[in-house]
């Protein structure tokens, strides 16, 4: 395969790869770092890819391994609940989610609007502003256990709402 053709495949799949990685990590800066490492690995492994095979599946597998390696090698904050085991558990589902991201994003925006204000604030601080849980506690006046429970319930609620929205469309 020629280098420009392979580079084109990588370039065309950047958004899907980012969405895939983000769906496993939930952190923008972390996801960008992992995406860059994934791109480097994909470029190094150009000769291992067979033209005509499923590039997307191959790239997602590479991204999965890079995500796991990143999490093993970084020094996580003590309250960070994301572990390599959890990433592995959700990686297959994340691949499916990344492929349908535009519809899911629209549904997510609708469903997010249905959440209580305080829950939306916690989600924003954790996922968009990338604050640590202990910092969120001080900002919203909740205990760590309550923040974790709020995040868990919000994710579950959003997942259910999104699935319902997607089935209706």
Instruction: Identify the sign of the CA torsion 56, 58, 61, 67.
Output: negative
**What secondary structure letter does DSSP report for 53?**
S
Q: Give me 34's structure tokens.
A: 């992992």
Report pTM.
Answer: 0.52
pLDDT at 68: 85
pLDDT higher at 151 or 3: 151
Which tens digit of pLDDT belongs to each residue from 6-54?
A: 888 999 999 989 988 888 787 788 889 999 999 999 999 999 988 778 8
CA gap 38, 57 in Å, rounded: 13
Domain residues of the chain, as ranges?
A: 1-99, 101-169
Instruction: Identify the sign of the CA torsion 138, 31, 36, 11.
Output: negative
Which overall architecture, per CATH, does domain 101-169 show?
Orthogonal Bundle (1.10)
**What secondary structure letter does DSSP report for 137?**
H
pLDDT at 138: 93
Q: How distant, in Å, are the alpha carbons of 16, 72, 82 from that of 69?
A: 20, 5, 13
pLDDT at 106: 82
Which tens digit of pLDDT belongs to each residue from 149-165?
A: 998 898 889 888 988 98
- Alpha helix positions (H), 79-143: 84-99, 101-113, 117-123, 133-140
């Amino acid at each position: 395969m020629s280098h420009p053709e392979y580079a084109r495949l990588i370039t065309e799949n950047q958004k899907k790869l980012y969405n895939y990685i983000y769906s496993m990590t939930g952190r923008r800066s972390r996801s960008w770092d992992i995406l860059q490492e994934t791109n480097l690995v994909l470029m190094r492994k150009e000769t291992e890819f067979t033209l005509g095979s499923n590039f997307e599946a191959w790239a997602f597998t590479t991204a999965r391994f890079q995500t796991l390696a990143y999490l093993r090698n970084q020094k996580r904050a003590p309250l960070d609940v994301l572990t390599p085991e959890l990433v592995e558990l959700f990686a297959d589902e994340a691949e499916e989610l990344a492929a349908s991201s535009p519809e899911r994003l629209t549904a997510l925006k609708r469903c997010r609007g249905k959440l209580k204000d305080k829950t939306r604030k916690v989600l924003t601080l954790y996922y968009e502003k990338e604050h640590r849980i202990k910092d969120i506690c001080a900002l919203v006046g909740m205990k760590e256990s309550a923040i974790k429970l709020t995040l868990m319930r919000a994710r579950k609620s959003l997942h259910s709402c999104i699935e319902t929205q997607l089935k209706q469309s």
